[in-house]
């Protein structure tokens, strides 16, 4: 930086800034330069230059903190997206990533290398117009057990992948004991996905995948409800995903609280006795029903 004809304190700070190797030391030196620099009209441009350098270093520090926070969060708890979050769990080399890739149509690493998946990897699947989020979890180790079970516990469902190239009984027993202790499944169910063939080489057939997808939807007790306007328009692309047993009032509440509060009646196509039957708010809906809501 240019000379200011300043005192020795300023030039000492300037020397420390030029030789500093870390961001922290550079910031300390710049702050001292700003403190000891003469404050007059002729020094304004250099004072502004010092302030810009301080600001740039602080911005770098903020960006680095955000990156660290994001990296930490990505491997621990991942925000739920879609209708349900499903964890894929299993022992080492059971083929979790293979199943994850097929379900989500992705190409994350999947090979014979042990512990290849180091942290939870998210992916999405659209099945029968329902969005499911999958988490490909690392293999269980003594070091990651606590975090592993915490992530699985937060999920709506777990798919337990068993390695057919190893004895299935101890694998099943291991996960059944965990479920009994409620260490990760709590009261939620798990699907056992047993592969046929070599799990490392895309062993899942289309029939296998369809069976697993149907099991997922069935275990989560989800139904799709379509809405219809009085003009006859039906949105078939984006159904509302509800829990089995939901009624007309539930779908009204999910759409808007005013619609729920002022609901007069609804017309239902599908599970009703006849098409367009007029029903009240407590009418239980079934998968694929079309609902036309009317306000008071």
Model confidence at 243, in pLDDT bands (50, 70, 90)? Answer: very high
- C-beta contacts of 181-186 below 8 A and 24+ residues apart: 183/149, 183/153, 184/89, 184/148, 184/149, 184/152, 184/153, 184/158, 185/152, 185/153, 185/158, 186/153
Highest mean pLDDT among 90-94, 125-129, 135-139, 147-151: 125-129
Alpha-carbon span 110 to 195, nearest angstrom:
15
Residue 71 pLDDT > 60:
no
Q: What's this model's pTM, rounded to 2 decimal places?
A: 0.63
Of the candidate ranges 40-49, 124-133, 172-181, the one whose mean pLDDT is the lowest: 172-181
Residue 46 pLDDT > 70:
yes
The share of the chain scoring above pLDDT 90, in percent, equals 25
Residue 292 pLDDT > 90:
yes
End-to-end CA distance of the chain: 74
Residue 88's closest CA among 136, 156, 122?
Answer: 136
Q: Residue 103 phi/psi, 5° resolution?
A: -70, -40
What pLDDT shows up at residue 139? 76
Strand order in the sheet with 277-279: 240-243, 222-227, 290-295, 263-269, 277-279
CB 217 within 8 A of CB 232: no
Model confidence at 278, in pLDDT bands (50, 70, 90)? Answer: very high
Q: Where are the domains of the chain?
A: 8-74, 84-220, 222-295
Give domain 84-220's CATH architecture.
Answer: 3-Layer(aba) Sandwich (3.40)
CB 199 within 8 A of CB 165: yes
CA dist list (Å): 102 to 24, 96, 134, 135: 47, 10, 11, 13
Q: Was domain 222-295 assigned CATH 3.30.1360.120? A: no
Please compute the mean of the pLDDT values over residues 94-119 and round it to a whole number. 68
- Residues 169-223: pLDDT tens digits? 777 777 777 665 444 433 344 455 443 333 443 457 788 788 888 888 888 889 9
Go through the chain and tell me how many residues it has: 296
Beta strands in 64-215 (DSSP E): 84-90, 121-127, 130-136, 157-162, 190-194
Q: Which helix (H) or strand (E) holds 276?
A: none
Highest mean pLDDT among 138-142, 149-153, 164-168, 237-241: 237-241
What pLDDT shows up at residue 291? 95
What pLDDT shows up at residue 189? 44
| 232 or 105: which leads in pLDDT | 105
Of the candidate ranges 14-28, 38-52, 110-124, the one whose mean pLDDT is the lowest: 110-124
Half-sphere exposure of 150 (CA within 13 A, CB side): 8
What pLDDT shows up at residue 185? 39
Please compute the mean of the pLDDT values over residues 235-249 and round it to a whole number. 91
Q: Which residues contact 29 (CB under 8 A, 6 or more apart)?
A: 13, 14, 16, 17, 20
Residue 89's closest CA among 57, 41, 134?
Answer: 134
What pLDDT shows up at residue 108? 64
Q: How many beta carbons lie within 10 A of that of residue 294, not counting itself?
A: 13
CB 99 within 8 A of CB 204: yes
Residue 78 pLDDT > 90:
no
């Amino acid at each position: 930086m240019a000379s200011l004809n300043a005192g020795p304190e300023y030039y000492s700070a300037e020397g420390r800034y030029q030789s500093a190797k870390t961001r922290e030391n550079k910031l300390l030196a710049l702050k001292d330069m700003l403190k000891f620099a003469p404050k007059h009209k002729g020094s304004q441009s250099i004072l502004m230059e010092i302030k810009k350098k301080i600001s740039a270093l602080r911005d770098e520090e903020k960006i680095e903190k955000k990156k660290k926070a994001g990296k930490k969060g990505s491997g621990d708890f991942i925000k739920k997206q879609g209708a349900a979050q499903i964890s894929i769990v299993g022992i080492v080399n059971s083929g979790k990533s293979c199943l994850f890739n097929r379900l989500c149509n992705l190409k994350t690493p999947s090979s014979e290398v042990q512990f290849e998946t180091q942290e939870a990897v998210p992916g999405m699947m659209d099945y029968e117009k329902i969005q499911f989020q999958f988490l490909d979890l690392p293999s269980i180790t003594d070091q990651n057990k606590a975090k592993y079970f915490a992530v699985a516990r937060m999920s709506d469902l777990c798919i337990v992948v068993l390695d057919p190239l190893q004895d299935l009984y101890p694998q099943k027993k291991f996960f059944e004991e965990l479920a009994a202790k409620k260490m990760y499944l709590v009261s939620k169910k798990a699907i056992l996905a047993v592969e046929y063939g070599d799990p490392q080489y895309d062993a899942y057939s289309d029939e296998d995948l369809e069976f697993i997808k149907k099991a997922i939807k069935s275990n989560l007790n989800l139904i799709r409800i379509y809405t219809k306007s009085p003009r006859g328009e039906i949105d078939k692309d984006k159904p509302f995903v509800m829990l089995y047993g939901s009624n007309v009032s539930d779908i009204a509440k999910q759409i808007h609280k005013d619609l729920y509060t002022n609901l007069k009646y609804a017309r239902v196509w599908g599970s009703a006795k006849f098409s367009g039957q007029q029903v009240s708010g407590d009418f239980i809906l079934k998968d694929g029903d079309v609902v036309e809501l009317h306000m008071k």
